[in-house]
Amino acid sequence: MPTTLINVSNRLPVTVGEQITKSSGGLVAALEGLSTDEYDLKWIGWPGAAIADPAKQRKVEKILTEEHGCIPVFLSDEEIAGHYEGFSNSSVWPVLHYMANYMRYDPPWWDHYRTINQRFADKAIEMAQPGDLVWVHDYQLMLVPAMLHERMPDLKIGFFLHTPFPSFETFRCHPKRRELVAGMLGANLIGFHTFGYMRHFRSTVLRLLGLESEITRIRSNGHTTVMGVFPIGISAKKFEETLDSPEFKQRRLELGTSYAGKRVVLSVERMDYTKGILHRLDAIERFLENLEDRDSIKFVFVSVPSREEVEEYKDLRAEAESRIGRINGQYSTLSSSPIRFIHASVSFTDLCALYATADVGMVTPLIDGMNLVAKEYIACQRDHHGVLMLSEFAGAAEELSNATLVNPYDAQSVAQSLTEALRIPEEERRACNEPMRDRVMKYNAQHWARTFIEQLGATVPAGTMTLFDPPEKAVELLAEAFSQSKRIALFLDYDGTLREIERDPRAAKPTQEVIALLELLEQHENVDVTIISGRTPADLEAWFGDRNVELIAEHGAAARRAGTREWEQLDRNVSYDWKDEIRGVLRLYEQSTPGSSVEEKRTSLGWHHRNTDPEFGTWKANELMHELSTMLANEPVQIRHGRKIVEVTAEQVTKAGAVRRLLSEKHYDFMLCAGDDQTDESMFEIEAPGFVSIKVGGGPSRARFRLRDPAAFRKLLRDGLSAANPSVASAIA
Ligand code: GDG
């Protein structure tokens, strides 16, 4: 049975006009290369026309679905203006390309963007089955992965960003920066063209959402997002076939004749400010200033009209045309003018013939996710060896390192490089191009799609994780224990388990909801509740002093029996001599890391880095971990890097020790322990009949069950209670 692959992109590979025409973009070719035995491919996207009449929509939908495997998402003119021209192209596109000064933002665009993203997600959900692959593309649909994950966590969701991902300093300019990044994180696999973009994304996720990541993995709430580098390629087969075609050969001859006696320098691009046309014209002007034989050169520009409804694009076109007019006016001779400017798309065969004719392919974007034109130019240098002059700021520069790499902002040196490029001897050009051409033809569009899809297929969606038992089972066990009046012990960690973490730990007072829940539990005679925390006795006393619950403080060093006011030290035989030496080291880290602080408890010393620069803090924490593990190798301590804290604790003091002590004193039929961080893992190791462990939040754990967050954990306790006793259910309601 082939695997279903649902490809979600802004545009369908067909356009609905008078007739339905197929488009032949790179993505189409890439996905066409997949074997139909292995994948059943469906597309979701906008069909390229605003169709308002519902009857016509239904008719178009039927034809597209049945004849083309395409499921249309219809958009009105107003939605296109808000979602596509507005939010996507006027706010997100410039920010992704480091051009925040071009960003415009109008708040209603955001509503359109969300609504349209939801419409795309709904279409995918309508047709998807658990385990299907859904591949979402690009900046117009950044919220779709999270929308899909929310509703169907057992889908394998991929997201590929075709643009750069800029540094945090630029991305943070966008008014919806957090929402956009959180939207992408719904994916199981996110692909970028280069490692640099991936690195920026990781850093942005950390700084905006506070989520730590490993090099290629980000975990949040039990969901793992894998990141990868997948440089897109060209449709190699199509180029090879065209270069062999008689039409191509004919066009090549014709171009040879019309440009006879001239060196040809070619630029091909969408008319977009990221592609650097104005800077290129500056460089060309400098080049022409120093050129003696003006008839010896021809610059050919193929500038495909793009996004002309957007103000900045209109301005760019006007500016480019005016400069070209000026340059041609100044440098034309009686027989020729230096620049031929084509503001239109040319046929594919003509494009290949132009690539093959040009002595220099001048590809100088100011910034570009990949830039396929550079790879296409190389693909067409099969018999003739032109020079690829390529901007350092195109993703393609990482792969095409034999090209003449230039800084497009430096007009003088681009002009100089062009002069030199025109003088490179044929042997040298061939030696540069051959390895690049091998690479471009081998790592082509089909290779790109295949590797992404295979890696997506290998991901494990949170909804299908087998590591943890389903939480409903925990509710069932709890309800059964309550209803059969068994003797029950609940060992509940506080911060991050029973109650959400606060940035300032002092602010994490029990909420009304937490208090109401504890009151309900206390009413059950057979239930003993123990709050077991890393906090000091004073903290626990202040918040739970009047409650009829057992308290265990400082990870098991002190305990207070339910209904008493006396604290008992459980660590009387433990030595804390190691503290003196450690204190000095932690103070040094405190001084050298702004925002960090040292905290001393009876049983532990900790260095907090929650309020530091997140990357610097993590880096220093790793360094500290290394230093401490060398220093304390023979001491009876545990060194942990927990949530934004490096902590050294006495080895003999653990939560598990305190729990075991209670269990040795009283028999229970059912025991449940829950926690959210490493200090709770010792409890999860306890093995006894009727003992159940629950991990709250993400990260690896030995626990049997996992719940997303404290709210889900409180719900589990309430559901257990109310399933056993419906009158409780109404009390909670
Ligand atoms: C985005 C990212 C990334 C151009 N003129 C004609 C024509 N073209 C074709 C080229 C090429 C495509 O358009 C342009 O692709 P690029 O990659 O250069 O740039 P974007 O459109 O900005 O694409 C970019 C890409 O997504 C893929 O991930 O590389 O960085 O910005 O294929 O051949 N085709 C025809 N006539 C033309 O006149 N037939």
pLDDT tens digits, residue range 556-587? 999 999 888 899 999 988 889 899 989 999 99
Tokens of 508: 């994490």
Dist. CA 444–CA 122, nearest whole Å: 32
Higher pLDDT, 456 or 727: 456
> What's the gap in Å between 269 CA and the centre of ligand 1?
7
DSSP bridge pairs for 70: 43
Measured from the CB, is residue 354 less than 6 Å from ligand 1?
no
Q: CB-hemisphere CA count at 13 Å for 175?
A: 12
Tokens of 648: 């050294």
pLDDT in tens, 274-317: 999 999 999 999 999 999 999 999 999 999 999 998 889 999 99
Percent of the chain residues topping a pLDDT of 70? 98
Angle of helix 471-483 relative to helix 710-724, nearest 10 degrees, comes to 40
Residue 401 and residue 310 in contact, taking contact as beta carbons nearer than 8 Å: no
> What's the gap in Å between 371 CA and the centre of ligand 1?
7
Measured from the CB, is residue 302 less than 6 Å from ligand 1?
yes
Q: Which helix (H) or strand (E) holds 299?
A: strand 297-304
The pTM is what? Answer: 0.79
Q: How far is CA 327 from CA 282, 290, 319, 389, in A?
A: 10, 14, 12, 21
- Tallying the residues shown for the chain, one arrives at 733
> What's the gap in Å between 364 CA and the centre of ligand 1?
14
Closest by Cα among 119, 112, 121 to 92: 112
> What's the gap in Å between 177 CA and the centre of ligand 1?
27
Backbone angles phi, psi at 30, to 5 degrees: -60, -45
Give residue 602's pLDDT: 85
Tokens of 510: 């029990």
Angle of helix 348-357 relative to helix 236-243, nearest 10 degrees, comes to 80
- Residue nearest atom 15 in ligand 1 by C-alpha distance: 372
- Residue nearest atom 4 in ligand 1 by C-alpha distance: 269
Measured from the CB, is residue 376 less than 6 Å from ligand 1?
yes
Q: Is 577 a catalytic residue?
A: no
Tokens 């690539």 correspond to 355
Task: Output the CA torsion 407→411→412→415 (10° steps).
Answer: 90
> Residue 93 pLDDT more than 60?
yes
| 687 contact partners, CB below 8 Å, separation of at least 6 | none
Measured from the CB, is residue 609 less than 6 Å from ligand 1?
no
Give residue 467's pLDDT: 56
Dist. CA 207–CA 199, nearest whole Å: 12
Residue 45 and residue 10 in contact, taking contact as beta carbons nearer than 8 Å: yes
Tokens of 731: 């009390």
> Residue 485 pLDDT more than 90?
no
Give residue 724's pLDDT: 74
Dist. CA 53–CA 49, nearest whole Å: 12
Give residue 466's pLDDT: 44
Dist. CA 128–CA 7, nearest whole Å: 11
Percent of the chain residues topping a pLDDT of 90? 73
Catalytic residue among 138, 493, 495, 719: 493
Measured from the CB, is residue 304 less than 6 Å from ligand 1?
yes
Give me the mean pLDDT over the 75-100 stretch: 96
Tokens 């795309």 correspond to 120
Which pLDDT band holds residue 252 (cuts at 50, 70, 90)?
very high
Q: Is 381 helix (H, G, I), strand (E, B) or coil?
A: coil
Which pLDDT band holds residue 464 (cuts at 50, 70, 90)?
very low
Residue 325 and residue 337 in contact, taking contact as beta carbons nearer than 8 Å: no
Lowest-confidence range among 215-229, 312-326, 487-501?
215-229
Tokens 């280069």 correspond to 194
| Strands, E assignment, 601-704 | 604-608, 637-642, 645-650, 670-675, 691-696
| Edge-to-edge strands, sheet with 597-600 | 597-600, 604-608, 645-650, 637-642
pLDDT in tens, 193-219: 999 999 999 999 989 988 878 778 898
Residue 134 and residue 124 in contact, taking contact as beta carbons nearer than 8 Å: yes
Which pLDDT band holds residue 149 (cuts at 50, 70, 90)?
very high
